[in-house]
Amino acid sequence: MSVVDSETDITSIRSPIDLQSLERYFSAAQPSTGTTLGPNVSWNFIQTPLIVKQFSFGQSNPTYLITDYTGKQLVLRRKPGPNKSLASKTAHAVEREFFLMAGLKHVDRNAKVPQMYMLCEDESVVGAVFYVMEFIKGRIFHDPAMPSLGETEKRACWKSAVEAVAEIHQMPAEKLIAAIPGLYFHVSKDTNYFQRQVSGLSRVAAKQSEYVDPIPGFEDTCKYLMENCPKMDKLTLIHGDFKIDNMIFHPTEPRVLAMLDWELCTFGHPLFDLANLLQPYSIPERIWANFQSSAVREDPKWVDEVLLLYERTNPEYANGGLKKYFTSGIVFGIFRVSVIIQGIAMRSKLGKASSARAAEVAKSYKPFGQYAADLARGNTANSKARL
């Protein structure tokens, strides 16, 4: 289904959660050690007993719909297991996701993120770190082509998405840094986002390759990215996993209400958020079909149109500087997806997959990795002349 109601995008419980322990935790008179309440939140925000269902999304971190005794609906998001069992701490950093969204609301009360209620770092409650946030009712488009919409409404939705990410990119970095604990949001003095990411993802891939096959062409892709990705001139907040199905749109209007899945957010280059958003339109159908079925087709004209819309929305990039680096952004995005899906394959093999589609998705990391390497090899020889 290409579009779902955020309230009905649920499946049976795939990743069990200790409901009795969770209810005892929330029934306590005061929050226990290891609990952090969100801005302007009191401890009685939730009333037991609870009904728990699991959302269909959440490849890395199981995500649940909680309905309390009064009928209030909330979202609980947790790590797939205790910290000591995780191959990658950064890929499951729900703590920083919590503090980041709380910080965004602190800096801009109209920021398009849910209200954060609480974070629990006591793993004894449900076996892993978790947080609870506001549930936002709206539409989630799993297919970026939005085939259920007419052309006018689709373009309006995409315009709202581009405006939403431009707002994030223009957030004042200094205020955000002051609002987020440094323990959970390290600010590197090195502003070369892509090189930092390649180094970190290489370590993750090496660890994952101890359990599943390595990613094809990985070294060639790393070399290309280190040599060709753009540098940053200033600290810019990026979402880190910006795509259509990480947004909740108004139930009837073509506008974004909230952006989800902030665990990979960092200071980086806006190019990556845009390349990630446009990735389905920048990859041949034969590659994308390995990942998910979609009405999307490779469409360079649509890519150019969206980049132009962004440049008109964010004056800092009005000179068209993003397009000339776009290929390196796409290579990086595919490279990163291949590492993420390799992680899903590893968790699936170990019996720790959290998504209903994990086994199917896990098969696609090799085609993605190979395509990233092929694209890099095809551009390496003449990329510097073009850029």
Q: Are the CB atoms for 365 and 345 separated by under 8 Å? A: yes
Which of 65-69, 211-215, 291-295 is the least confident region? 291-295
d(CA 131, CA 295): 34
Q: What is the pLDDT of residues 357-384, one digit of tens each?
A: 677 778 889 999 999 999 998 854 444 4
d(CA 21, CA 28): 11
Q: What is the pLDDT of residue 384?
A: 40
The yes-or-no verdict on residue 355 having pLDDT over 70 is: no
d(CA 363, CA 290): 7
Which residue in the block uniquely carries the two structure tokens 């998910």? 292
For 35, the token pair is 């609990």
For 106, the token pair is 């602190």
The yes-or-no verdict on residue 219 having pLDDT over 80 is: yes
Q: Are the CB atoms for 3 and 139 separated by under 8 Å? A: yes
The CATH topology of domain 3-134 is: Phosphorylase Kinase; domain 1 (3.30.200)
Q: Map residue 9 onto helix, strand or coil.
A: coil
Q: What is the pLDDT of residue 265?
A: 87
ω into residue 49 within 30 of 0, thus cis? Answer: yes
The yes-or-no verdict on residue 2 having pLDDT over 60 is: no
Kindly tell me the sign of the dihedral angle through the C-alpha atoms of 34, 35, 39, 42.
negative
Q: What is the pLDDT of residues 180-210, one digit of tens each?
A: 888 777 776 665 888 888 999 999 999 999 9
Q: Does domain 139-386 have CATH number 3.90.1200.10?
A: yes
More confident residue, 127 or 84: 127
Q: What is the mean pLDDT of residues 306-331?
A: 88
More confident residue, 56 or 25: 25
Of 293, 161, 185, give the one whose Cα is nearest residue 237: 185
Q: Are the CB atoms for 7 and 97 separated by under 8 Å? A: no
**What mean pLDDT value characterizes the chain?**
87
Strands 35-37, 116-120: pairing kind: antiparallel
Q: What is the mean pLDDT of residues 105-121?
A: 94
In terms of Cβ atoms closer than 10 Å to its own Cβ (0-12, 13-18, 19+), residue 301 is: exposed
Which pTM value belongs to this model?
Answer: 0.84
The yes-or-no verdict on residue 320 having pLDDT over 90 is: no
Q: What is the pLDDT of residues 21-30, one digit of tens each?
A: 999 999 999 9
Q: What is the pLDDT of residue 148?
A: 93
d(CA 131, CA 62): 11
* 3-134 against 139-386: fold identical: no
Give DSSP secondary structure letters for 320-378.
-TTGGGHHHHHHHHHHHHHHHHHHHHHHHHTT---STTHHHHHTTHHHHHHHHHHHHHH
In the chain, where are the structural domains located? 3-134, 139-386
The yes-or-no verdict on residue 387 having pLDDT over 60 is: no
CA atoms in the 13 A half-sphere facing the CB of 368: 27
The yes-or-no verdict on residue 244 having pLDDT over 80 is: yes
Q: What is the mean pLDDT of residues 290-299?
A: 72
The yes-or-no verdict on residue 347 having pLDDT over 90 is: no
Of 203, 174, 143, give the one whose Cα is nearest residue 339: 203
CA 257 to chain centre: 16
- CA angle in degrees (0–180, nearest 5) for 90-105-117: 70
